[in-house]
Structure 1
Amino acid sequence: MTQHLYILTGGSRGMGLAIAEQLLQAGNTLICISRNQQASLTAKAQQAGAHLAQWTHDLVDGATASLALKAWLEKQTAQAFQSATLINNAGVIPHIGPLSQADPHNLAMALRVGLEAPMQLCSAFLGATENWPVPRKVVNISSGLGRRAMASQAGYCAAKAGMDHFTRCLALDEALKPNGAKVTSLAPGVIDTDMQVQLRGAAPENFPDQNGFQQLKATGMLTSPADAAKRILDYMARPDFGSQPVSDVRDA
């Protein structure tokens, strides 16, 4: 059976896990790149008749993960897949506090996972599949904080803003190619994940917006990981996907 190929980072928990679960359908091949494997995905793949591989890589070292992806893709035949999609979902929030208090190693980790690794994986994916005669997509999971500054969030905001802007560059690159990939940096809305727990639990004196995040939870404004994953996959299926290199699941 000809397969649809999906490569997903950060698929072992939160919204990434929900995306992985929804992609595990017959006719799909899913490669998850995460620090840890998720046993529930293996069971679900077997039940659904989907092909699943879970690669354990810490994306602080995105170069190693991207080289592994490039090597694997170069061994595949283009005829094996009807489409190929990369979803860069992994990200981390560095220490919550003013930049003046940041630990340099913690800050470097956040930027490597949230910006450097997605760029490296995009390069590997697009380079290795450039001559595949099938539709290709890149979805970089961004955030509203890449488009709106927030105190005590300089590292995360910078990583997501960088993701948005390199995706704009990537869209220009791909538009010049005969079978260029469709790409977008997609904000998924406000989601009830571990990141939200971190933000709500931050010390108010270090994070002026802490109360606002507590109110989002208290007033039921957070989207569940499963609903957020569905919105992302629905957006990916839109006929106008890729027309806007920076986008939001709530776009009309």
Structure 2
Amino acid sequence: MKYAIVTGASKGLGEAITKRLFEEQMAVISVSRTENEELKKLAAEKGVNYRHFSCNLSLDKEIQEVFMEVAHVIFKGEPEEILLFNNAGVIEPIHTVGSLDQTPTIRNIKVNLIAPILITNLFLNKAQHTNTTIQVINVTSGAAVHPIEGWSVYCSSKAGLNMFTQTAALEQWELGTNHKIFAFSPGVMDTKMQETIRSSSQDAFKDLEKFIEFKEKNVLLKADVVAGALVDLVLSGTVESGKVYHINDLLK
């Protein structure tokens, strides 16, 4: 049996990924601060194995406790494969360096970078004693390789996630495991994160007008389209470990 774990599954891309996995009749564990009741209802209607765990991914102690429980639930079933979607992310703080708030800055690094590292580490450790294959999907951003004024913390956390992905993949190759770890850049989507970006101030974010135009001109990608392309890639069996995939390449 295959299991999928989706962080940040309550909304946006995470919700869309979960719905697509339901279509594949895959067992899904959702992890977010609050549960999406629509997903719970949909899982019941489709008769799929679904469970939600509440977790604040900015709290390392909570990450350890919750994901130890998640791992226990999954591994006792001796799964063939676990798909780990490290999808949860935050964009704030949106401001120039010198005007950054400490609390959201620390939270950004914890959610976007430290949480995926801790979760991936835990599951690769548990898998050492089983025949289970782990496939880790780290949701990154084009901001990881393109500096954007006002997004220094977000750019930095996603750049760190890319390097973690590449390094961990190299290590697993050297160890001779079948585990795969790759990153996925979903492009500019029509999600709550985009609403947060558009509500920022011009002083804090120089490119604000450009992102407002994305919405006005209807060029934002739909989350279900992006999720479909990602899940197709994950299930294709052709994933190259350590690679950073971009949605534009998958939609060609």
Query: Which TM class, normalised by the smaller chain length?
Result: over 0.9
1:53 paired to 2:54 = no
Q: What percent of counterpart residues are identical?
A: 25
Matched residue of 2:181: which SS?
strand
Deviations 1:189-230 (A, max 9, x none): 110011111112221122110011112112222111111111
1:62 paired to 2:60 = yes
Change (3 A) 1:177 1:27: farther
Counterpart CA distance in 2 for 1:6 and 1:106 is 29
Counterpart CA distance in 1 for 2:77 and 2:162 is 32
Aligned length: 250
| Contact map agreement 1:4 1:27 (CA 8 A) in 2 | no
User: How far off is 1:131 after superposition?
Assistant: 3.5
User: How far off is 1:178 after superposition?
Assistant: 3.3
| Contact map agreement 1:97 1:153 (CA 8 A) in 2 | yes
Counterpart CA distance in 1 for 2:55 and 2:213 is 35
Match of 1:96 among 78, 83, 94: 94
Q: Which residue of 2 aligns with 1:223?
A: 221
Counterpart CA distance in 2 for 1:64 and 1:18 is 25
| Contact map agreement 2:53 2:66 (CA 8 A) in 1 | no
Counterpart CA distance in 2 for 1:198 and 1:166 is 27
Deviates more, 1:115-124 or 1:92-101: 92-101
Deviates more, 1:63-72 or 1:158-167: 63-72
Counterpart CA distance in 1 for 2:67 and 2:241 is 27
Counterpart CA distance in 1 for 2:73 and 2:10 is 26
Change (3 A) 1:204 1:72: closer
Paired amino acid for 2:48: A
Match of 1:85 among 83, 86, 92: 83
User: How far off is 1:71 after superposition?
Assistant: 4.4
Change (3 A) 1:60 1:15: same
Change (3 A) 1:105 1:78: same
Paired amino acid for 1:219: K
Counterpart CA distance in 2 for 1:110 and 1:219 is 29
Counterpart CA distance in 1 for 2:165 and 2:214 is 29
Gaps of 5+ in 1: none
Deviations 1:49-70 (A, max 9, x none): 1111110010011342234323
User: How far off is 1:26 after superposition?
Assistant: 6.5
Counterpart CA distance in 1 for 2:239 and 2:103 is 37
Matched residue of 1:237: which SS?
helix
Q: Which residue of 2 aligns with 1:139?
A: 137
Which aligned pairs between 1:18-57 and structure 2 lie closer than 5 A? 18-25=16-23, 27-57=25-55
Q: Which residue of 2 aligns with 1:201?
A: 199
Runs of at least 4 residues off by over 3 Å: 74-80
Superposition TM-score, scaled by structure 2 size: 0.92
Counterpart CA distance in 2 for 1:72 and 1:244 is 25
Superposition TM-score, scaled by structure 1 size: 0.92
Change (3 A) 1:26 1:206: closer
